Structure 1
């Protein structure tokens, strides 16, 4: 077996993303990062040491969009391997659901190096291509809206 130091060994990371709902729409942005570049994805990012899922979701959403969350809740978790990427990675992704504290607030593109912009999309008319973990959920029949089938 090859000698690999602890610092070099790949480890899973934890991502937290948010289904931010407004009426019958969900907020998506076009990714500019190395993993999933040019695909549409939910806002979110890495869980920091000591953070709750709710705290991470609120912080990441504020950092990326300048929006404030209301009524945040856990939805599901997925285990994602990105083996075909230039730098293979493994993410455990926590999916949260929330609404806007102020429904009139408009998302800002705070990190243009990571996202080309934000838009509200109807669940039955999502843009393409979707970031593959989200696409997999959509294909499975998942619906983030409460009280849907």
Structure 2
């Protein structure tokens, strides 16, 4: 039986917009998702979030200003492999607001862009869509 894994997703924010990319993956292929990835042994959530955002987008984050927003429990039952992820969601701004995201892992993502929170693209990655459906707002505690 598969053991649950821990993921970290980052709401990289700029004004009322979030950074999203279209996934190229066996889970949620062609859906729009936040940057993020797997927590590595010994890493803090903030270290993981900053590392993953840097690896995927080239962006440097304000690590000292990262905030924990929420945690979700996600079970993907669809083939080819069922997966179970506990995902920690953080919020951060880009350290240099003039820096633009790059698609540094084109095999995993079709590209990154900024989307206003009140005008998100479709389809969203299912866990993100569920958060939106439940009224989650990454800007509500600012």
Length-normalised TM-score, structure 1: 0.92
Partner secondary structure for residue 21 of structure 2: strand
Question: Contact between 1:35 and 1:85, CA under 8 Å: does it hold in 2?
Answer: no
Structure with the greater alpha carbon radius of gyration: 1
The equivalent position to 2:87 in structure 1, one of 68, 93, 98, is 93
Q: Give runs of aligned pairs for residues 20-39 of structure 1, distance below 5 A.
A: 20-39=12-31
Q: Residue 24 of structure 1: CA displacement? A: 1.2
Provide, for residues 69-117 of structure 1, a one-character-per-residue CA deviation record: whole Å limited to 9, x for no partner: 1121111000000002321000000000000100010000000000000
Task: Report runs of 4+ in structure 1 exceeding 2 Å deviation.
Answer: none
**What's 1:55 paired with?**
47
1:127 and 2:117 correspond: no
Aligned pair count reads 140
Stretches of structure 2 lacking an aligned partner (at least 5 in a row): none
**What's 2:60 paired with?**
68
Q: Residue 147 of structure 1: CA displacement? A: 4.3
Superposition CA RMSD, Å: 1.0
Length-normalised TM-score, structure 2: 0.96
